[in-house]
Amino acid sequence: MLVTAGGVDVQKYWKWKPRIQEAWDERFLIETYQDLVEDAVRLQMRSDVPIGLFLSSGVDSSSLLALMSKQSSKPVHTFTIGFEGGEGSNETSDARKMARQFGADHTEMILSPQDYQDYYQRYLWDLEEPVGNETAAAFYFVSLIASRKVKVVLTGQGADEPWAGYHRHIGARFSELYSRLPKSLTGKLLEPLVTRFTKNELLRRGVKSLNESDMLTRLVNVYSFFSSDMKAQLFQPWLLDQISSDGAEARESLRHLQSDVEGLDALTQMTYIDTRANLPDDLLMVADKTAMTNSLEARVPFLDYRLVEFVETLPPQMKLRWCRGKYLHKKAMEKWLPKEVIYRKKKGFANPVDSWLRAQMSRFLDDCLFSEHSAVRRYFDDKYIRQLVAKHEAGQQNYMRHIYLLISFELWHQQFISA
């Protein structure tokens, strides 16, 4: 933003549109990427205050630990959280091993349902907007323990979106092949079967989106927790009359991004939009706000603009090889990490919040969604929400993120509207 006597001029500081380069040698690509990653870490380790790392058990933060250890004369401060009752998904054990392997000064914390419930008193004060990501609160706690030792941390965020690290990217990669299948098979048989018989909410969204020929509508379906049919049942009639339930607003907001990459393959389009919409609006926003509420600066080396530009010139098979996401990224990390770490199944911030809401936090859930004065009941259909919760608790469907988004809305409304 440039402010002068003549007025205000706002411009993008970085303008970039992908142009795929096909004729590249894989060995050359790997070495180029390794040099870029190493330099990005070097630049983002510059600090006149103590610096550390959010460490999980995955390839991204582990590779940062390897490079930080290489470039630091002192042990790297690493921080990991786990969850009470989450022994099957916790990353603490694997992260501890990685920290030990590289001689890091490691700190970890195990969270309880009470920790989460206590934090919910100020949760939306920190975030300032409702989110449907049940892992969001976890970033607050890992930031909290990090802030006791350092003022700056590096994180592994930003490698999944441009590198096609999510399941939805598999659908995008094979969407052209899927579109060639008879509509009698995909639309009239496959989608109803998946909708009726699978509990996997991501799979249901994916199949529904693949049946859309329009790219923007497909993306809206991928990103939307509540489908158009669900929103038509969710909103109170007076509210439904004032808004669109068909995703028109979401389509329009994505249109300007999609126009930058229109004509490129579906995977490149999705990863481009993910990196500029889903990533900053969700993960980066959550990490930044929960870190800063603890007076901590979080840095993201994998989003060095040179890295993003490099990745976005690659053909789709260099990002997603068959069903293996982040293909060339992982090949490059073999220089610094054991293969069993690189190709270990991704856990992310997996946590047992769902089971907590069914048990220890069930009263909290009822108070949020069904109390006499809840905002949720004012704007949304109480009977429909009770059906969602009942089906979820019975194990008939997985509506965890739908329920969590409603909880976030209620907490946000209490904090900023009702207060």
User: Residue 299, CB half-sphere, CA atoms under 13 Å: how many?
Assistant: 19
| Cβ neighbour number for residue 174 with a 10 Å cutoff | 16
Separation CA 361–CA 386 (nearest Å): 17
Phi, psi for residue 77 in degrees, rounded to 5:
-80, 120
pLDDT of residue 294: 97
Is the pLDDT confidence value at 350 over 60?
Answer: no
Domain spans, the chain? 2-164+269-342
Q: What is the pLDDT of residues 34-69, one digit of tens each?
A: 999 999 999 999 999 999 999 998 999 999 999 999
Q: Are 286 and 133 in contact (CB under 8 A)?
A: yes
Q: What is the pLDDT of residues 202-219, one digit of tens each?
A: 677 667 677 677 788 888
pLDDT of residue 187: 65
The token pair that represents 286 in the structure block: 């959550």
- Domain 2-164+269-342: give its CATH code: 3.40.50.620
CA distances from 257 to 6, 251, 261 (A): 30, 10, 7
The token pair that represents 295 in the structure block: 């007076």
Q: Which helix (H) or strand (E) holds 82?
A: strand 77-83
pTM for the predicted model, two decimal places: 0.90
Q: What is the pLDDT of residues 166-194, one digit of tens each?
A: 988 988 888 777 666 676 666 666 666 66
